[in-house]
Structure 1
Amino acid sequence: MPTLWRRYVAIDPDNQSLSIEQDAAPSPGDGEVLIAVAAAGLNRADLLQRMGLYPPPADASPVMGLEVAGKVCAVGAGVEDWKVGDPVCSLTHGGGYADYAIAPAGQCLPIPANLGMEEAAALPEALLTIWHNIFQRAAMRRGEKVLIHGGASGIGTLGIQMVHAMGGEVYTTAGTAEKCSALEALGAVRAINYKDEDFEQALTDAGLKERINVILDMVGGEFIQKNINLAAAEGRIVNIAFIRGFQAEVNFAPLLIKRITLSGSTLRAQSFAQKTVMTREIREHIYPHLENGSVKPVVDRVFELADVAQAHDYMQSGAHMGKIILRTQEITHYG
């Protein structure tokens, strides 16, 4: 195979500025595929990595980017499920902000026929985050009431649809009336503008105090106590981020009285084997809904790779609804 040259986004550690650099594309190792990347998804973890607050694991690529979509252009030893030319979307172990990226074969997913590359790049991180935390860790059951904070995020917009498709009754929070209206159109029974209303009081007034079975929270701070107050007996609360802070004064008495399970997780720290199980279960349970269009990723804006700094600024502003995507290259070959 001739040498492939890739463009990638580099971080200047002195001033956190971004630039487009070039080097030889990596080669896939055992159990890996090399993807010619058409589009890459942005995640808040990328902003933290840029600021030096979320360093990549020692065995990960130092290049930002945790999810991509494109075509397989090379396979490593032992890869049987994928071949050159296959369109895939996948988690990466870093390196997604580039023309070519390595991905573990077990983390690759087929691109549903009704989705383009940019929509497909919005899937992997959100799919696995939601599946693991709501359906594996919190073990949501049909008919249960679920509260998803950060409903307008990529995770939130896909999570609302997934919970609805799997028979849950979903509630959510967002920061504008327009976003709340859009989230209700996606399947939320009620979306609460947390800037105008206290979501705990709004749900209490709706008769839902101590009736929420599962809560997915990426906010933290003062939301921690409110979540505990709203949770039902045997409720499960999962924290995946703490945007408003890791520390809060909390009354844990309801945790005992209601036998609440309070847990947290990050996706990147989990093993490839664990992510492979998630991927397999997602293909079984969620892909039918993706293929029939009842679940569909929401893409807010697409930026060119060279405009990555503007894409980061846009994410930092919080104005987006759904995923922000980087377009990397036009894929016209590899099968």
Structure 2
Amino acid sequence: MAAAGVNNADLMQRRGQYPVPARAPRPLGLECSGTITALGTDVTAWSVGDRVCALLDGGGYADEVAVPATQVMPIPAGLSDIEAAAVPEVAATVYSNLAMVARLTAGQTVLIHGAGGGIGTFAIQWASAIGARVITTAGSATKTRAGLEMGADVAIDYRCEDFVAATQAATEGRGVDAILDVVGADYLARNVECLAPDGHLVIIGGDTASAPLDLGLLMSKRASVTATMLRARPAQQKAEIIAGVTRDVLPLFDSGAVRVVVDTIVPIAQAARAHELMESGRTVGKVILDNRHRTVTRAVRDSGAGTSVE
């Protein structure tokens, strides 16, 4: 394992606010990059020594990980191990929700909340790359500026503007075809207001408290709402998502249409500092744990009954 991405799910799990699926490794870490050191007996698509990145069920903050072969992807040409570690979770999340669930296509308009986050910075680029019009929100001028630099057509500072009114103005009152939401309960009603006829709201995180839903408005728009969690998906669904990302998303890195946005690189031994950075709300893009230069120290001592290694 060369590097691991830090995700909001890691922070939530550390606080006891994120349910770990049955049979998933309990240690933190949902994505990594590195080099294959061994293969299962039925694995034929990969070889020992291949540089890869992977979507994990858990356990990424480690020196080695075991992962289903169907959740492994080649590292796009030109990406470092650090950059590759930032790809699996965001690419799988955005692709599965905007491409596979919301069916976003060229010419449609999407509202992406959280322009400065790892998901947001990738989602903006991906949606722009496929020809969609992108509206995004963020909580500072720095992050709205970053959203525009990533390819957003409109960036709304929600601390200064009502994002519903701004979205309606930007779409001449029609609304958006898809919304990718990381806020949850507090935005539910306002997100539905932003939807265009036949629009689709996908909620992937945030506050899970009870919230009112205007079914009349939803029905009048023929709109729909989906809430998803990537980690809890069955293995077959994850395999289908990773196959789609490998086919449709990774080539965008090769062409330069999408780039990796890394805010900070932290030695893996300082994972606590990485979490503090994420919780500060000041980062733009991903925080990555670097495991490339680890030093393994073996202290040998005489235990009296023999030699032990710590």
Cα distance, 1:270 vs. partner? 0.7
1:286 alignment counterpart? 249
Match of 2:200 among 236, 246, 250: 236
Segments of structure 1 that go 5 or more residues without pairing to the other structure are 1-36
Segments of structure 2 that go 5 or more residues without pairing to the other structure are 295-310
1:192 alignment counterpart? 156
1:16 alignment counterpart? none
Cα distance, 1:320 vs. partner? 0.7
Distance 2:152 2:99 in 1: 17
Q: Indicate the SS of the match to 2:23.
A: coil
- CA deviation map 1:203-260 (0-9, x unaligned): 22334433300011110233111111110100011101124x5232333221010100
Question: Matches of residues 122-137 of structure 1 in structure 2 within 5 Å?
Answer: 122-137=86-101
1:56 pairs with 2:20: yes
Distance 2:94 2:44 in 1: 27
Question: Matches of residues 1-335 of structure 1 in structure 2 within 5 Å?
Answer: 37-243=1-207, 245-330=208-293
Structure (1 or 2) with the greater strand fraction: 1
Distance 1:116 1:234 in 2: 41
Contact 1:127-1:158 within 8 A present in 2 as well: yes
Letter of the 2:227 counterpart:
G
Q: Indicate the SS of the match to 2:276.
A: helix
Letter of the 2:252 counterpart:
H
Distance 1:264 1:58 in 2: 20
Structure (1 or 2) with the greater helix fraction: 2
The verdict on how the C-alpha distance between 1:323 and 1:195 changes in structure 2, with shifts beyond 3 A counting, is: same
Contact 1:209-1:231 within 8 A present in 2 as well: no
Distance 2:170 2:18 in 1: 39
Distance 1:282 1:206 in 2: 30
Contact 1:210-1:229 within 8 A present in 2 as well: no
267-276 or 125-134, which deviates more: 267-276
% identical equivalent positions: 41
Cα distance, 1:295 vs. partner? 0.5
Distance 1:131 1:184 in 2: 21
- CA deviation map 1:51-79 (0-9, x unaligned): 12224223121211000001001111111
Contact 2:115-2:146 within 8 A present in 1 as well: no
When normalised by structure 1's length, the TM-score is 0.85
53-62 or 126-135, which deviates more: 53-62
Cα distance, 1:313 vs. partner? 1.0
The verdict on how the C-alpha distance between 1:85 and 1:206 changes in structure 2, with shifts beyond 3 A counting, is: same
Cα distance, 1:317 vs. partner? 1.3
Distance 2:172 2:118 in 1: 26
> How many residue pairs were aligned?
294
Distance 2:30 2:157 in 1: 30
- RMSD over aligned CA atoms reads 1.4
Contact 1:209-1:229 within 8 A present in 2 as well: no
Distance 1:220 1:211 in 2: 19
Letter of the 1:319 counterpart:
R
Distance 1:286 1:250 in 2: 34
Cα distance, 1:127 vs. partner? 0.5
175-184 or 205-214, which deviates more: 205-214
Contact 2:90-2:122 within 8 A present in 1 as well: yes
